[in-house]
Structure 1
Amino acid sequence: MTSDATPCLFKDEGEPAHSSGGTVFSPEFYEAERQIGMRKELNELELEAELLRLEKTDADVTHPRHLATRLEALRNFCAHLRDLLEAQELLAGQLQRPASHENLSVPPQLRSYVIEAVHLAKEFVETLDEKRTAVLNSGHVAQDLDQLDESATRLTAQSRDVVNLAKRLHQWNFNESASF
């Protein structure tokens, strides 16, 4: 017991109270206390082992030999990208130059893109020509509408004349058949 009259199972951290020589509790209690201490120590050792495993895996990744291979792979990839960009700039330069009597060398992997670009340019020119024609003809639309209205008026007048002639003809036929 401690000085404040409360029972204490442990004198210090991990040291059982029964070590002072007095037997206050049953032997099973002391055995359970010992097993708890051993489990605690086992858990601590497992944690240390896990930390060591993590350090080992991290040490492999951060080891200069491992980093050197990764760095070399990254350098190779960057060089490859640089070569691709230079080839793209070369192709763009070739496409901008007029192709008078010279062959345009297009790498095979880019030919489908060049063909697609030519088709898109053709469609663009056709659409542009249609829109240009529509804009040019838009000034004539008002004149065409006036002419259409005038033609409709003339057609209506002529149809009235035809109806009147048909009535007169019918009347004349009726008068002729009545006189016989």
Structure 2
Amino acid sequence: MNPWDPNIYTVTPAAKILARCVATGTMTQEELDAAPQESEVFSSSLLEAEQRNRIKHDLDQTNLDLELLKLQKDGADVTHSHYLSQRFASLQQFTSHLQEVLREQTVLRERLTKPLCQQNLPIQADLHRYVVELMGMVVEFIQDLDVKIKMVQTIPTTEDSLSNLNNAMTQVLSQVTEVENLYKQVLKRRGQPPQ
């Protein structure tokens, strides 16, 4: 097998351009043969830049895949069949309840319009006056209890009172010593000996 046989290789567009350059005389076969045959014709910095771009592209693709995985993880509780089946079951239960309410709409309407006094416990007629008085007393007791609870909550604790008393006492003592110092200075200026 002859490696120079043109039937073995397919002709690339670059080879066609080089063949035209040789045919027109722009380039000679010797110049073409003198060109380096190694794959690294370009500078090493250009190859490094291309490699950096390829690594950056791979990193961007990896970050994109990571973001997609995070989104899938965040949405997993919504889209997972287990959770969807639970929600579907609760939705079915709710709709069946609503259908039952719609079926018994007239019965419910009658129950809601029926006065409440028929459902209360019967009280003997001679005790009605006492029940009314008792209800008034209960309302008054609850109001008084609320007022007393608020009063108790506003009363300062003894610890607060003691701390306030200690603070006031230290302030008074500091003012007394300051007044004594001022008194001594006034007596000195007047020329009288301090007592």
TM-score of the two chains, using structure 2 as the length reference = 0.34
Task: Work out which structure has the larger RCO, using CA pairs closer than 8 Å and 6 or more positions apart in sequence.
Answer: 1
